[in-house]
């Protein structure tokens, strides 16, 4: 097992679609890749999971057994995954693939802010884990939204202390200029600062400038990788980052 990519991000940011498209790109390029659904609450998925947590943890059963509504059941389900990590790992390993993509729970907090998740990531991926944090363009395209996502991504990073990458999804719905501007913010602190202070004045802006300064001193800046599932675009960059972290830049043998 070489690389375990845990795809995380806010609800609706494009985690499942990204996971499906990246797997499609990998398979097209002859890199054997397993895709795991770790979202017990997923109703419809844009891919057929090789391993599916819904076979082990059922929201309906939890709701009736514990007398919970759908939200309470989601929390119990998120923690319950920890009871099944051995089964999940065994099933993943049976594929003997070098790459594993884990699509995580719809709501970010169910994955990022539950104590069980650290254990789950450590058990399934160990030191061969990397987190991919998805930035939704609808928020990322404004300077204040971009700073909010940077803060959220940094928070997730500090919860897991694993390598991570920041990924911009759905770039097909942005203009080329918008993509270039957002990419520039991620590569150049000054351009983001400039955009922030030119944003609408007021308390909101002042707060964002303070958050920006904190992020700058924490050194959490990373180049944002633009992707589009619709255009199957950007996945070579994701693959290169996996190589950089886990194969010291060498191309793994295809199989
Ligand atoms: N145009 C476009 N739409 C996309 C892309 N990726 C995802 N979407 C759309 O964004 C919406 C959310 O995508 P999902 O993949 O379900 O996002 P998610 O983060 O897994 O959502 P939850 O698990 O429900 O939180 C869907 O309507 C997708 O079709 C993309 O690359 N381009
Ligand atoms: Mg999803």
From 9-13, 70-74, 119-123, the region with the lowest mean pLDDT: 70-74
Distance 78 CA to ligand 1 centre (A): 21
Q: pLDDT band at residue 250, thresholds of 50, 70 and 90?
A: low
Query: Is the per-residue pLDDT at 255 higher than 50?
Result: no
Q: Return the residue whose CA atom lies nearest to atom 4 of ligand 1.
A: 170
Whether 253 shows a pLDDT value over 80: the answer reads: no
Report the nearest-CA residue for atom 2 of ligand 1: 170
Distance CA 198, CA 142 (A): 11
* Residue 148 neighbours by CB under 8 Å, 6+ apart: 139, 208, 211
Q: What is the pLDDT of residue 254?
A: 52
| pTM, 2 dp | 0.94
Instruction: Say which residue, 129 or 219, is predicted with more confidence.
Output: 129
Q: Tell whether the model's pLDDT for residue 106 goes beyond 90.
A: no
Say if CB 41 and CB 106 are below 8 A apart. Answer: yes
How close is the Cα of 3 to the center of ligand 2, in Å? 21
The region of weakest confidence among 94-108, 114-128, 158-172, 199-213 is 199-213
Residues with C-beta less than 6 Å from any ligand 1 atom: 9, 11-17, 39, 106, 169-170, 172-173, 228-230
Ligand 1 pocket, mutate which of 6, 10, 11, 12 (most atoms under 8 A from CB): 12
With beta carbons less than 8 A apart as the criterion, state whether 122 and 188 touch: no
The CATH homologous superfamily for domain 3-136+162-176+223-246 is P-loop containing nucleotide triphosphate hydrolases (3.40.50.300)
Q: Give me the chain's average pLDDT, please.
A: 92
- In the block, residue with structure tokens 């499942």: 16
Confidence of residue 198 (pLDDT cuts 50, 70, 90): confident
Mean pLDDT confidence for 87-96:
97
Average pLDDT over residues 7-11: 96
Q: Whose C-alpha lies nearest to ligand 1, atom 5?
A: 170
Domain ranges of the chain: 3-136+162-176+223-246
| Structure confidence at residue 251 (pLDDT) | 54
């Amino acid at each position: 097992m070489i690389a375990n990519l845990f795809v995380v991000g806010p609800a609706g940011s494009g985690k499942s679609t990204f996971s499906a498209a990246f797997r499609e790109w990998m398979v097209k390029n002859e890199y054997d890749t397993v895709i795991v659904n770790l979202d017990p609450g997923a109703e419809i998925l844009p891919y057929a999971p090789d391993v599916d947590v819904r076979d082990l943890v059922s929201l309906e059963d939890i709701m009736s057994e514990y007398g919970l509504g759908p939200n309470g059941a989601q929390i119990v389900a998120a923690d319950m995954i920890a009871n099944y990590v051995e089964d999940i790992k065994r099933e993943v390993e049976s594929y003997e693939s070098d790459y594993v993509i884990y699509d995580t729970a719809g709501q970010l907090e169910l994955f990022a802010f539950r104590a069980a998740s650290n254990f789950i990531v450590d058990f399934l991926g160990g030191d061969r884990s990397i987190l991919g944090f998805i930035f939704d363009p609808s928020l990322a395209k404004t300077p204040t939204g971009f700073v909010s996502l940077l803060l959220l991504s940094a928070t997730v990073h500090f919860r897991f202390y694993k390598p991570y990458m920041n990924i911009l999804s759905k770039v097909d719905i942005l203009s080329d200029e918008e993509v270039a501007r957002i990419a520039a913010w991620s590569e150049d602190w000054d351009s983001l600062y400039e955009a922030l202070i030119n944003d609408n004045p007021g308390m909101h802006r002042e707060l964002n400038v303070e958050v920006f300064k904190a992020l700058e001193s924490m050194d959490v800046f990373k180049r944002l990788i633009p992707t589009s599932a619709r255009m199957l675009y950007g996945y070579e960059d994701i693959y290169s980052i996996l190589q950089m972290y886990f194969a010291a830049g060498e191309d793994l043998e295809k199989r």
